[in-house]
Structure 1
Amino acid sequence: MLHRILWAALVAGFVAGIASAVLQHFTTTPLILQAEHYENGGAPAVAHSGLDGGGFGDARLILVHAGEDHGEGSVWAPADGLERTLYTSVVTVGTAFGFALILLSAMVLADARISARSGLMWGAAGFAAAGLAPALGLSPELPGSAAAVLEDRQIWWIATAVATAAGLWLALRVSKPWAIAGGIVLMVLPHVIGAPHPDGFISEVPAELSGHFAAASLVVMAVIWSLAGTVAGYVWQRGEAKQAAAAAA
């Protein structure tokens, strides 16, 4: 059982992670690079979107070339271009693997039928809990955006994701009147309490850029959750079919 879960999650993580990494490369990454330049007090420069700063198809992205001076006390960061793309892609694949592992484990514990279709539905629920609900209070932020204390935001985000997941479980799995009512209360409670925000919304990044990034980030997150659930369910279903065929032979 554990081997099947890990294998399905690995395949799903690779497929969903690579697809999402490509999507990020053409959507959220250019916005992050622009925001970093605003944060450093400069103006964004347009360049080709290749992994090495050159051509990559016919698309064009915003690239900011950081200096090579890493003096004492400086924080290391991957260089723009191929290095940054590779690091981002590896992290995205790892994230997709984690999402697939969570979804498969939850479906097994719930004794749910696992298929591509059910995986998509569970993936949508995962996106609602870990992406959409927290974004109602704390939208995805660019570098240089105004924000409250990090620890306060982390606590609220985790509490919101857990409460939303529990509320969806009660409403959709238990599905009794008391469970539906309790689930709604759980999902609404974090937003009644309110997310932590800074005293003043003063940002170095243009509002249009922040809005575009928030929307693009949610789309990317929806894609990675949906793909992770769908592919994991498909691989699991294929494994079950092969086991049934071998048992019948």
Structure 2
Amino acid sequence: MFRKLVLSACLIGVVLGMAMTAMQSAGVTPLLLAAERHEVSATPHAAAVPHHGHSHAGQAGHHHDDSAWAPADGAERLGYTAVSNTLAGIGFTALLLVVMNQLRERGRLKMTAGHGLMMGGLCYLAVFVAPSLGLPPEIPGAAAAALESRQLWWLATVVLAAAGLGLLVLTRGWKRGLGLPLLLVPHAWVPAHQGPRFSHPDPQAVAALTELQHEFILASGLTNLAFWLLAGLLSILALRRLTDTAHGHDDVPG
């Protein structure tokens, strides 16, 4: 069963990676490129270096090193984005399949499309919404706190949010009461940047970047929602197929 789960995670991850790349190309990447043009105009010496480092969750940092290698814009950048999204899709799907299979074996999860979408929605809340309430997705040129502190906070928030949502949705009695505190704990301290969001000298550029920031948050939210709902649906379909196959083998006379 473990090997089949791994294979399913790889196949679903490829589908998710390609779908995510297509959605990002249509809705997210144009906003990033527009923001980078303002960023480059503020720092002319950086014009020769493409700006990257934006995770699909929208939480990656924007610290660019002129001496660092980066893929060229166009097909090369798209290819590396597709590979990154595919690897992320495989990793997230593997975790999701393991959790869903454990819940299925304990009778806590039905093999229906609705429950698959529910699990995808819970993952979306834990991995995207909960961290975004403290650290919204950022476009190039936005000021932010130290990358290391943001990464640690993001990881802690995702883990606590997943645990809190799991308690709220999957448990009963006094254990359910622990869910809300776990959701709130990370927001007691958020490594936020102090000062203006954009330091561009041109007020019109700041206004444009602010508008792009709002559009980027919305586009990232919708893209991630589609990613997780698709992940939940494909995962439940894969588990249903695996369990039906296993039951078929069990029914064959020895």
> TM above 0.5, one fold?
yes
Identity among equivalent positions (%) equals: 37
Alpha-carbon contact 2:49-2:66 (below 8 Å) kept:
no
**Partner residue, 2:92:** 99
The alpha carbon displacement at 1:127 in A equals: 0.9
Q: Which runs of 5+ in 2 are unaligned?
A: 51-64, 201-205
Q: How many angstroms apart in 2 are the aligned matches of 1:207 and 1:73?
A: 25
Matches within 5 A, 1:41-190: 41=41, 67=48, 74-110=67-103, 111=106, 112-113=108-109, 115=111, 116-176=113-173, 178-190=174-186
Q: 1:99: Cα distance to partner? A: 1.2
Taking structure 1 as reference, are residues 180 and 77 closer, same or farther at Cα in structure 2, changes over 3 Å only?
same
How big is the alpha-carbon RMSD for the aligned residues of Structure 1 and Structure 2?
Answer: 2.3
Q: Select which of 195, 212, 227 maps to 1:200.
A: 195
Taking the aligned partners of 2:119 and 2:21, their CA distance within structure 1 comes to 21
Residue 238 of structure 1 corresponds to which residue in structure 2?
241
Q: Could you say which structure has the higher helix fraction? A: 2
Distance 1:103 1:189 in 2: 24
CA contact (8 A) 1:11 1:232 kept: no
Structure 1 residues 68 and 92: alpha-carbon distance in aligned structure 2, compared to 1, 3 A threshold:
closer
Query: How far has the Cα of 1:114 moved from its partner?
Result: 6.0
CA deviation vs aligned residue, 1:34-62 (integer Å, no higher than 9, x gap) = 111211116xxxxxxxxxxxxxxxxxxxx
State the alpha-carbon separation in 2 of the partners of residues 190 and 152 from structure 1: 12
Match of 2:62 in 1: none
Quick one: structure 1 residues 23 and 246, their matched pair in 2 at CA, closer, same or farther if it must change by over 3 Å?
A: same
TM superposition score normalised by structure 2: 0.81
Please give the TM-score of this superposition, normalised by the length of structure 1.
Answer: 0.82
Contact 1:99 1:225 in 2 (8 A): no
SS of structure 1 residue aligned to 2:41: coil
User: CA contact under 8 A between 1:117 and 1:233: conserved in structure 2?
Assistant: no
Count how many residue pairs are aligned between Structure 1 and Structure 2: 223
